[in-house]
């Protein structure tokens, strides 16, 4: 556990150093033949566990971190057992293929490249090994998708971690990376009527069946790739360059802080951060009624179904969130590591 803790701290330090460079405005488009690495880091849905080690370490020092690490390890083992049925439910779901298709479609749009050169890395290890290649691109857009559930099964998240990286090979052969841009995009479903009965939330997810849960993940993929396309567009770049005020954004019983980019009765987008570090988070609420509706959708003619599957416009639409969904306090969010 101690070794794992030290390794985590070291990795965070390296990440901070890599991202510490002052952000440089990117050209429009970024490059004529933009190298893109799409890193597929998962073979199955991950499970997020609260980062107890860091939280207790910050409060109680090394002893607290060690105790927190033990607690976190126990939570991770419990979560892995609990997520097993969901993984079996999604056994035939092709997350990587669907995400790749969506990302490729967005890269063909404004702001990226007329001729993006996409290389798919089947695993993170392949991405690391590729740095030893003699054909290592000097500037590359690295996109790492992820999907996960919280350890209590009260949340489902789809995300994209996007970095524009400048790489230089030093005289000793090692590669130095400077992050020119780093943007996380996440879309999170939260269960607002979490049942108190033991195992009830598990049964509710499983009752949705593969098609119901897959539909939620598909929408999450569409949302985060829309965020990516918008953020690199001319409109998105201009908007992101303006100061982000700490606005209160009420939605589904929570209050989020940041700038509202898109507000509908079903979901909101919120930009947070500053000139150096920004991210876009999307939030959607789930309850028993919504989960049942997704599990048993109303039959529609084939032509109408095809129309509903068209991706929403990348540019955000400003609408007021319903007043009935406003609430005086924000909800706590899970933070932590997931599994493959």
How many CA within 13 A on the CB side of residue 139?
A: 14
Structure tokens at 179: 């992050």
- pLDDT on residue 66: 62
- pLDDT on residue 274: 84
- pLDDT on residue 15: 46
- pLDDT on residue 40: 94
Percent of the chain at pLDDT above 70? 69
The one-character DSSP state at 309 is: T
Q: What is the pLDDT of residues 146-176, one digit of tens each?
A: 999 998 999 999 999 999 999 888 888 788 8
What whole-number distance in Å separates Cα of residue 111 and Cα of residue 106? Answer: 10
> What are the boundaries of each domain within the chain?
2-47+86-335
For residue 113, whether the previous peptide bond is cis, meaning omega lies within 30 degrees of 0, is no
Expressed in percent and rounded to 5, the helix, strand and coil fractions of the chain are: 40, 25, 35
Round the CA-based radius of gyration of the chain to a whole number and report it.
Answer: 21
Q: Are 232 and 112 in contact (CB under 8 A)?
A: yes
Q: What is the pLDDT of residues 253-291, one digit of tens each?
A: 899 999 999 999 999 999 999 877 999 999 999 999 999
Mean pLDDT of 189-217: 92
- pLDDT on residue 162: 97
Q: Which residues share a beta bridge with 156?
A: 149, 189
**What mean pLDDT, rounded, does the chain reach?**
79
What whole-number distance in Å separates Cα of residue 74 and Cα of residue 123? Answer: 27
Q: Are 247 and 320 in contact (CB under 8 A)?
A: no
The one-character DSSP state at 202 is: H
Q: What is the pLDDT of residues 37-72, one digit of tens each?
A: 999 989 999 998 876 545 555 555 666 656 656 655
Centroid of chain to Cα 6: 25
pTM: 0.76
What whole-number distance in Å separates Cα of residue 196 and Cα of residue 201? Answer: 9
Of 310, 316, 307, nearest to 281 by C-alpha is 316
């Amino acid at each position: 556990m101690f070794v794992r803790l030290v390794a985590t701290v070291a990795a965070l330090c390296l990440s901070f150093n890599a991202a510490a460079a002052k952000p440089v405005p990117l050209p429009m488009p970024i490059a004529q033949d933009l190298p893109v690495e799409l890193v597929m880091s998962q073979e199955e849905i991950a499970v997020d566990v609260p980062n107890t080690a860091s939280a207790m370490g910050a409060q109680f020092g090394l002893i607290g971190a060690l105790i927190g690490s033990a607690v976190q390890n126990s939570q991770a083992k419990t979560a892995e057992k609990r997520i097993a049925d969901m993984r079996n439910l999604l056994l035939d779901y092709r997350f990587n293929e669907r995400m790749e298709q969506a990302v490729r479609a967005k890269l063909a749009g404004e702001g990226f490249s007329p001729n993006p050169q996409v290389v798919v890395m089947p695993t993170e290890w392949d991405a690391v090994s590729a740095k030893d290649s003699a054909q290592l691109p000097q500037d590359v857009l690295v996109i790492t998708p992820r999907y996960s559930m919280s350890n209590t099964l009260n949340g489902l998240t789809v995300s994209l971690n996007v970095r524009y990286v400048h790489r230089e090979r030093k005289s000793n052969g090692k590669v130095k990376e400077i992050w020119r841009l780093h943007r996380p995009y996440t879309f999170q479903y939260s269960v607002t009527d979490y049942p108190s009965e033991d195992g009830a939330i598990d049964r509710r997810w499983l009752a949705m069946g593969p098609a119901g849960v897959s539909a939620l993940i598909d929408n999450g993929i569409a949302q985060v790739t829309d965020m990516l396309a918008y953020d690199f567009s001319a409109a998105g770049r201009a908007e992101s360059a303006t100061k982000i005020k700490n606005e209160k954004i009420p939605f589904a019983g929570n209050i989020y802080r940041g700038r509202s980019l898109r507000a509908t009765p079903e979901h909101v987008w919120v930009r947070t951060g500053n000139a150096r570090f920004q991210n876009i988070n999307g939030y959607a609420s789930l309850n028993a009624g919504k989960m049942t509706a997704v599990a048993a959708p109303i039959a529609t003619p084939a032509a109408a179904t095809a129309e509903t599957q068209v991706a929403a416009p990348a540019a955000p639409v400003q609408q007021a969130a319903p007043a009935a969904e406003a609430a005086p306090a924000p909800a706590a969010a899970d933070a932590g590591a997931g599994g493959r």
